[in-house]
A and B are shown apart, each in its own frame.
Chain A
């Protein structure tokens, strides 16, 4: 599968409060509405800027903080293709895979704002089409690849009638 889109850069330590602000707690049962505020406290106009298929590109420890799965959920339902970051917080990373949102760890310093990015998942290559460079990403553990291929944990369980991971 090949994913193509623009890069939207964010810094280090983007918390789940930046992605899904607590003041929209009441919208957690209305994800399409909540998605209108995606990453609002990191960039108030972000929801107006990106196009479907674009990428969130960040620094260290993306998604730190609360366990709210609504954070990866609204990134996914906004139509963003994936999150690329230097590193991720544990719960966010796991949540993203569980709901079928692609998250990749790589050196994001090589990506500038609005660069055109192309990801070839089978070949394991991220191409920066603007800078004409290639970036390697850290392979996901096998367990996570299986969950992603099955389009999330719930689908995995339903497909195999239980866990089929280890």
Chain B
């Protein structure tokens, strides 16, 4: 009888030439897709040149995204973008230009399929796990090797089953759920592990909500976050023209999970992550009234159309508070276009928000909303480390789009 396997064990086994691998093993695996972005791309390119003078194992599955500083805010970065463009052109790699959007959103919209093994020179590559891929973030050297050789070395991770049941309260979203979970596990609690999100709450979630969960798996130290595929995955792929790529990806009955964590979603309240670590999670109720200088709604965590709809519903016919700047960034061009069609962008502009081009925005601390000394930002992004938004003398709080929107109106952390 075949040994029952977790999703991660199955996908990695399929990529090691038919070898049957289990958690804890070190393997050299074939990859389906490798990507880098404008922050990690130039170093990746430098290493590829050392390996194969630029030749790529699978150019059509080698993607460079320009999203972290897009459009470029200074000449050094413009030159980095130029390096990437020229390399992609010369070697046949795919280039995702300024304005297309954040890499992780574009990966699921256009490139990643269930069962794929994906590596990316960006820690939030784990996002693609929501569509049943084994996707993990690595450094430029690993990704360079993956791009040049089509292979990578991996340790097959142990899996933790995060079983979530119960209905989320009104005004509580998947962002609150994942922050709550990270608060429980800790920022290093799941180091090296694969987190498989399962249970009735997950089954009832939209793909957008699921992507928020897997996006943040790395904030608990995990190698990836992953979710069984179902009809929602299928419809998502269909929307983006890849219905034929659907596969049922699931953990076998009897698969070995290192740990099972049960979560009752119905008891969770709206929460925020307080400075300077993601696991510093507090109830919004406790922080009510904290004055904020800037609100940012967007990113690979919460810049999807569903997130923008939630924010727009709250901001409709309202204005941001005079003392609080509001920045809204759709995660991709497709989302931007949908938001325009639905009238959401008009609602944001009428609320006195600044709507910027799809990309990472101020989340990485390079441009588009760097904080001043002593300022506080409330953001829907995934990280609040010291200096993350470009100034070590500022503070970042993380929350859901709903909390962000209501707080932007009030000028302070608020709850509906």
Bound-state CA distance A126–B123 (Å) is 31
Give the interface size class of chain B.
Answer: 35 or more
| B298, CB-defined interface residue at 8 Å | no
Contact A18 B385 (CB under 8 A): yes
Contact B388 A22 (CB under 8 A): yes
**Interface residue from B120, B142, B153 paired with A143 (Cβ < 8 Å):** B153
**Interface residue from B69, B141, B276 paired with A95 (Cβ < 8 Å):** B141
| A25, CB-defined interface residue at 8 Å | yes
Contact A143 B26 (CB under 8 A): yes
**Interface residue from B42, B277, B390 paired with A13 (Cβ < 8 Å):** B277
| A108 CB → nearest B CB, Å | 15
Bound-state CA distance A73–B47 (Å) is 13
Residues of B within 8 A of A113 (CB): none
| A85 CB → nearest B CB, Å | 11
Contact A25 B365 (CB under 8 A): yes
Contact A25 B387 (CB under 8 A): no
Contact A21 B392 (CB under 8 A): yes
| B145, CB-defined interface residue at 8 Å | yes
Contact B385 A69 (CB under 8 A): no
Residues of B within 8 A of A142 (CB): 26
Residues of A within 8 A of B149 (CB): 157, 162-163
User: Which residues in window 145-166 of A have CB below 8 A to B?
Assistant: 152-154, 157-158, 162-163, 165-166
Of the listed stretches B77-85, B250-258, B350-358, B408-416, name the one at the interface; the rest are far from the partner chain: B77-85
| B321 CB → nearest A CB, Å | 27
Bound-state CA distance A67–B143 (Å) is 11
Contact B385 A65 (CB under 8 A): yes
User: In the complex, which residue of chain B has the Cβ closest to the Cβ of A65?
Assistant: B385
* Residue of B26, B40, B120, B392 with most chain A CB atoms under a 10 A cut-off: B392
Give the interface size class of chain A.
Answer: 35 or more
Bound-state CA distance A149–B62 (Å) is 29
| A81, CB-defined interface residue at 8 Å | no
| A36, CB-defined interface residue at 8 Å | no
Given A28-B39, A29-B80: A17 touches B386 (CB 8 Å cut-off): yes
| A1 CB → nearest B CB, Å | 22
User: Which residues in window 115-166 of A have CB below 8 A to B?
Assistant: 141-143, 152-154, 157-158, 162-163, 165-166
Bound-state CA distance A28–B366 (Å) is 12
Of the listed stretches B132-140, B261-269, B283-291, name the one at the interface; the rest are far from the partner chain: B132-140
Given A65-B383, A154-B50: A26 touches B74 (CB 8 Å cut-off): yes
Given A25-B365, A26-B77: A154 touches B47 (CB 8 Å cut-off): yes
Given A18-B385, A60-B188, A90-B192: A28 touches B390 (CB 8 Å cut-off): no
| A99, CB-defined interface residue at 8 Å | yes
| A71 CB → nearest B CB, Å | 9
Other A-B pairs beyond A15-B386, A18-B385, A23-B365, 6, CB < 8 Å:
A68-B40, A69-B40, A89-B221, A90-B221, A154-B144, A163-B151
- Contact sample, A vs B, 27 pairs, CB 8 Å cutoff: A13-B187, A13-B276, A22-B364, A23-B370, A26-B77, A28-B39, A29-B79, A41-B386, A64-B221, A66-B383, A67-B138, A67-B139, A67-B140, A69-B140, A70-B43, A87-B191, A90-B221, A98-B141, A141-B26, A142-B26, A143-B153, A157-B51, A162-B149, A163-B28, A165-B153, A166-B28, A166-B153
Minimum-distance CB pairs A-B, first 9: A22-B365, A69-B139, A95-B139, A26-B76, A61-B188, A15-B385, A17-B385, A67-B123, A98-B141
- The chain B residues found within 8 Å of chain A, CB to CB, are 26-28, 39-40, 42-43, 47, 50-51, 68-69, 74, 76-77, 79-80, 83, 120-123, 125, 137-142, 144-145, 149, 151, 153, 155, 187-188, 191-192, 218, 221, 223, 276-277, 364-366, 370, 383, 385-392
- The chain A residues found within 8 Å of chain B, CB to CB, are 13, 15, 17-18, 21-23, 25-30, 41, 60-61, 64-70, 72-73, 87, 89-91, 94-95, 98-99, 141-143, 152-154, 157-158, 162-163, 165-166
